[in-house]
Amino acid sequence: MSDQSSTIQEDNSHGDENPLWGFEKDAEWRNAFRRLISYSWVSDEKLQEVINNPLEMMSKLSDYTPPSGLYIRFRGLKSNKEVIETPPYNEFNKESLIGYSYDASF
């Protein structure tokens, strides 16, 4: 490694390298997330749709394209007070990830 390359220091805390950037600064993300939440409040059936496929529903409700590899879990309370939630990510539900290419080394 040369001296020049070893002295370069980037501050990416303001960009998309920061995992909280989307939550804090990206209006498009906030609007898509709000639409998803609002949609889930309409009825138990809509909540179930969001719980089953949150990223797919987000794509249907807004023009926001989630980043590859993003996995969102939702937990909701139905009108009969039953708690339902998105199952945790595992190799059996990896197909629900939008734009994510899975390989065995992951």
Chain segment 58-86, per-residue pLDDT in tens: 889 988 877 777 788 888 989 999 998 88
The pLDDT confidence band at residue 5, using thresholds 50, 70 and 90, is very low
Supply the pLDDT for residue 49.
Answer: 93
**CA neighbor of 50 nearest in space, from 29, 69, 27, 33:** 33
Q: What pLDDT is recorded for position 47?
A: 94
Averaged pLDDT, 3-21: 53
In which band, very low, low, confident or very high, does the pLDDT at 50 lie, cut at 50, 70 and 90?
very high
Task: Give the Cα-Cα-Cα angle 68, 71, 73 (nearest 5 degrees).
Answer: 160
| Residue 79 to residue 97: CA distance in whole angstroms | 28
Phi, psi angle pair for 76, to nearest 5°: -140, 160
Q: pTM here? A: 0.59
For CA atoms 20, 24, 30, 36, the dihedral sign is: positive
- The DSSP H or E segment spanning 85 is strand 83-85
